[in-house]
Amino acid sequence: MLRSHGRYDYSPITRRRPFEWPGGTRLAVYVALNLEHYAFGEGRTEVLVPGMPEPDVLNHSWRDYGNRVGAWRLLALFDELELPVSLLVNSALYDHCPDLVAAFRGRGDEIAAHGRTNSEAQSDLDEPAEQELIAGVTERITQHEAKRPDGWLGPWIAETPVTPDLLHEAGYSYVLDWCADDQPIWLATRAGRILAVPYPQELNDSCAIVGRGVGAGEFADMIVDQFDEMHDQSAGEPLVMGIALHSYIVGQPFRLRQLRRALAHIAARRDAIWLTTAGAIARHFASQ
């Protein structure tokens, strides 16, 4: 037998118990905006131009463009299209640019945890250190948002063998690290279970645009095609469509223009779908 993670069993999507999203809708759509902060001159980095020595001014300033400019342009776009957002925040943002997080808070958007900084990955930590990291991030977000975050996306989507256990024990109801399905699935933990809400690795601007060199127009076409196809497929089973964005990537003006086209395509069909947040998806699914 091959080694297994033991978190879930195999289940074909065509053979599951029926359920519906609110209002009898079949397709739940959410936008996840990653707001990240990186240390200068050390730690892990998202790299636009590889091979640069530290201190890497080019790549650091490119990433910081997202917090200074790109995220504000995206905020205006979400307002224009009346789209809710799941904001995935590094807790270090409360020191670096607290007014940016406050602007999304003012819209009533969901604030979910995305670790402390993307300069580190919790997969590098032992269990006590990871537990301390999760506790510190949770406390910081709770302090500023006056409520605990329900969801977690690990920086770099990196886990240790005990990450779901620690998140469940810390009070999290869902995690976005696992991309194995188009419906939420329950992950077993050592003291109960935690829900994995689908988070995309294809409709993810970091993976597609930076990782695979996909152009802005092609990425927008991917969103439109994914939506149209999943809307058709959802006649058979209720589905979740996530769109993962980073402000320093799609916040660039030429990409933003293409993103506007794709999101407007979805917004124009809001009466036929459930436009929502990852947290609302988790709560509704768990309640059934």
Q: What is the pLDDT of residues 204-242, one digit of tens each?
A: 999 999 999 999 999 999 999 999 999 999 999 999 999
| Cβ atoms within 10 Å of 208's Cβ, excluding its own | 21
| CB of 5 closer than 8 Å to CB of 189 | no
pLDDT per residue as tens digits for the range 46-60: 888 888 888 999 999
Sequence-ordered list of residues with C-beta below 8 angstroms from that of 20, at least 6 positions apart, any chain: 26, 238
Give the Cα separation of 254 and 234 in Å (integer).
32
Beta strand 27-35 pairing with 86-89 = parallel
In the chain, pLDDT over 90 holds for what percent of residues?
96
Q: At residue 103, does pLDDT exceed 90?
A: yes
Give the Cα separation of 74 and 33 in Å (integer).
9
User: Which alpha helices (DSSP H) does the chain contain, by range?
Assistant: 57-65, 71-81, 93-96, 98-107, 127-145, 163-169, 205, 212, 216-233, 253-267, 278-287
pTM of the model: 0.97
Does the domain made of 21-287 have the CATH classification 3.20.20.370? yes
